A and B are shown apart, each in its own frame.
Chain A
């Protein structure tokens, strides 16, 4: 039992949960509001490294570092969003992608701060429960992720959620009704990106050791494919997508499938090839993912009855 509560299984589950949270946050940004954030790994890595640097290089307490990571990522998102969110989708995509590249460069080259490729470690757990520490931390991530999913569920049927959806559907119409669409979009982008940074900080404790190599565009891409596969319009889309992609492909196949050691280096390549292929097939044949179209909300039913 103890083996199950620590070690690889707990690590896998914590890692999966963090990606569920990222995919859910992307659902809020892209699926609901229509912001094409291709810089997820940038915000995630920023949170992770601000946390690591504050905790290990400046010896701030754990909780202070966590808050600092969230707030700082939020501030950066606010500054970036302020200049790019009124541009068109393609420009937002390119700018966020470029932002992620910048973050990776900073982490790699500013060795005095992040220790570069040597790595930053060891990040401890916030408490010491002996062999149950990892399990305790997993429970914390589970709680935050559930809270996030509940919030997403509530948001979908709230006036604020409908305002955000209206920005995606017809921003000019929403403006003409007197809604400050740019401001709402900016605030929402800031909060969700800060949360991406928050989960990046949590990931620091899961990984224990921070190296710039973790911050590849593969992270952004994995979150995107998970959401698109699961269903970008649906609250559980991210959850389903992450279970199918990271859960099955990363952990179950890479760990338990009987692959001869000679062929083991081929597996990561094949994995990304399958990811790419799946993404293409989904977008061509089932654009709204496994879960498909959103069911009509209560308010629509009421309108139809009238």
Chain B
């Protein structure tokens, strides 16, 4: 019984940053139709911005969240304008776009390693208090993160399915020509989506960083799971991404609690292939 409880509580905490990252990732995938591996660096940079504000400039952790997230949204927009938009305009194929984004990812990762160094950085937080949720020990930071993620995901969900901009985005992703005839400005909507996606990625990075530590490979270590979640959840499907993130968080936690992280990685791979196979068979 305590195993089940630990799995659920810890799995949810594990899933919290994943939800944010996966929702941001799925938006770009949906809008532009390619896997943006460089999204990993958005996550890393979000964490770096926050840790610089926090431990080097001495800002309160909660105050760093907003500027760091906005900055990583800005980075996302810049990568779109400088790299992805020109490439899409030149008609680079879907698979080539992925390889291109891997190139950008390497570029940014080693640039940030050059700037911030190869050492791991820690957030400077005044002793978090430990709480007990149904008997499972977690920190106050984790509870706050979980609550924030909840609020932000609801906001994103509302934005995509209930607002004008969300509708424009879905229209643009489904049929660009038709959307443009209907008077939707594709550049404006794309910029907005890339900004939101970058912000979500940055937030995910901040929460990951505060749970453990910040290093230049933070985002790269997560991107594989995020891509898997997005494909399994259905491209552009925020609800699917949400469910798949929680599922992945619980699988990782459960397998890690029983054995070791190696088998969690294998379980995820099998789960990923299994879901895709099932989708192929049953439509």
In the bound complex, how far is the Cα of B272 from the Cα of A270, in angstroms?
Answer: 35
Contact mask for chain B residues 266-283; partner A; CB cutoff 8 A; 1 contact, 0 none: 101100110011001000
Are B106 and A84 interface neighbours, CB within 8 A?
Answer: no
In the bound complex, how far is the Cα of B97 from the Cα of A228, in angstroms?
Answer: 13
Q: Which of A93-101, A134-142, A177-185, A294-302 contacts B (4 or more CB under 8 A)?
A: A93-101
Cβ of B158 within 8 Å of any chain A Cβ, yes or no, is: no
Are A273 and B260 interface neighbours, CB within 8 A?
Answer: no
Cβ of A41 within 8 Å of any chain B Cβ, yes or no, is: no
Do A273 and B94 contact each other (CB < 8 Å), given the known contacts A95-B269, A228-B99, A284-B87?
Answer: no
Are A284 and B228 interface neighbours, CB within 8 A?
Answer: no
Cβ of A106 within 8 Å of any chain B Cβ, yes or no, is: yes
Contact mask for chain B residues 101-122; partner A; CB cutoff 8 A; 1 contact, 0 none: 0111111111101100000000
B100, B110, B269: the one within 8 Å of A284 (CB): B100
Are B265 and A90 interface neighbours, CB within 8 A?
Answer: no
Are A276 and B107 interface neighbours, CB within 8 A?
Answer: yes
B35, B96, B111: the one within 8 Å of A283 (CB): B96
- Near B by CB (< 8 A), chain A positions 214-262 give 217, 221, 224-225, 228
Q: Report the contact-size class of chain A (Cβ under 8 Å from the partner).
A: 35 or more
Are B269 and A224 interface neighbours, CB within 8 A?
Answer: no
Are B110 and A276 interface neighbours, CB within 8 A?
Answer: yes
Cβ of B90 within 8 Å of any chain A Cβ, yes or no, is: yes
Are A269 and B83 interface neighbours, CB within 8 A?
Answer: no
Please indicate the chain A residues that have their CB under 8 angstroms from the CB of B265 in the complex.
98, 101-102, 105
Cβ of B261 within 8 Å of any chain A Cβ, yes or no, is: yes
Cβ of A91 within 8 Å of any chain B Cβ, yes or no, is: yes
Are A283 and B103 interface neighbours, CB within 8 A?
Answer: yes
Are B103 and A277 interface neighbours, CB within 8 A?
Answer: yes
Please indicate the chain B residues that have their CB under 8 angstroms from the CB of A284 in the complex.
83, 86-87, 90, 92, 100
In the bound complex, how far is the Cα of B90 from the Cα of A280, in angstroms?
Answer: 13
Do A90 and B98 contact each other (CB < 8 Å), given the known contacts A95-B273, A97-B224, A284-B92?
Answer: yes
In the bound complex, how far is the Cα of B35 from the Cα of A97, in angstroms?
Answer: 13
Cβ of B227 within 8 Å of any chain A Cβ, yes or no, is: yes
Cβ of B95 within 8 Å of any chain A Cβ, yes or no, is: yes
A99, A278, A287: the one within 8 Å of B96 (CB): A287
- Near A by CB (< 8 A), chain B positions 66-106 give 83, 86-87, 90, 92-96, 98-100, 102-106
In the assembled complex, 21 residue pairs joining A and B whose CB atoms fall closer than 8 Å, in A order, are A90-B35, A93-B98, A94-B224, A95-B269, A98-B269, A106-B262, A224-B102, A268-B110, A269-B111, A272-B106, A273-B107, A273-B110, A275-B103, A275-B106, A276-B103, A276-B106, A277-B107, A279-B106, A280-B100, A284-B86, A284-B87
Identify the B interface with A (CB < 8 A): 35, 83, 86-87, 90, 92-96, 98-100, 102-111, 113-114, 220, 224, 227-228, 231, 260-262, 265-266, 268-269, 272-273, 276-277, 280
